[in-house]
Structure 1
């Protein structure tokens, strides 16, 4: 008899129960640190890391009223920012601390966003830095590439298209 776990079948721990809370200005430093951690490696690989530019872009995009802090296990584990432009929602940011990535949390949060968009008949857009492992998740959830530049891909999810799939 074996140990019950076949070689190569190790799985990431199950997703913990997560809650969201409205962000406050006190969350800026946490969000910035996580943003820098998430983007530095990707942008460096593309030869596009420019810390002053990245810091300015973060400061320009941060909107406390659009941000929710992701909490689990009695601590802050990430943040999500969603904005609305006309009839479209935009997933501006989604970042999780290292130990909580790959556990289905991002999938759960994006699926909830897509359910809300579907109910309202809205499309959802996002930008993803080239080389980001989340690209496969976005494609699996029905996002398609609608534009690109040297740094990122612009993706769009359409409720009609997803329902037809």
Structure 2
């Protein structure tokens, strides 16, 4: 299994949008009235290819991750793996790569996750703990020096 991240390009937008909608819509619909056109417009305003890696598995695009350094912390904005490639270690490999790549650059990594998203367990298995919550999301954090 060869997992390799590559920098995102503007041409990756349709792939990223499709995966985002497939992954988030079932969970976000619990908290908000999901209107496809509104969500597509929101996604378009937030898409940052410069902060994004496309995740490839044996040369095939299977996911994407967006992250940004803010001071001494990496903020993991998005991590999506296509449903047919989930629970196969792809996300774990990406998490390890992020933590190894960013270890010297930041002291911690933080993220938001919807409370009803099963990814919560994935993040807990990778050492993230809940540090704050809103009515719909958990804020999670872990030190980058910890084992992934």
- Partner of residue 103, structure 1: 88
**Larger % of strand: which?**
2
What TM-score, normalized by structure 1, do the two folds share? 0.79
Q: 1:50 aligns with which of 29, 34, 39?
A: 34
User: Does residue 136 of the first structure (1) align with residue 136 of the second (2)?
Assistant: no
RMSD: 1.9
What TM-score, normalized by structure 2, do the two folds share? 0.87
Following superposition, which runs of at least 4 residues in structure 1 exceed 6 angstroms of deviation? none
- Partner of residue 141, structure 2: 156
The alpha-carbon distance between structure 1 residues 151 and 27, as it changes in their structure 2 partners (threshold 3 A), is same
Which stretch of the first structure deviates more once superposed, 112-121 or 146-155? 112-121
Larger Rg: 1
| Count of residues in Structure 1 that have an aligned counterpart in Structure 2 | 146
Q: Extract unaligned runs of 5+ from structure 2.
A: none
User: Does residue 60 of the first structure (1) align with residue 45 of the second (2)?
Assistant: yes
Q: Over residues 5-54 of structure 1, what are the superposed CA-to-partner deviations in whole Å (9 max), with x where a residue is unaligned?
A: xxxxxxxxxxx31111111111011100100000011112x242423453
Q: Extract unaligned runs of 5+ from structure 1.
A: 1-15
- Partner of residue 120, structure 1: 105
Contact 2:74 2:106 in 1 (8 A): no
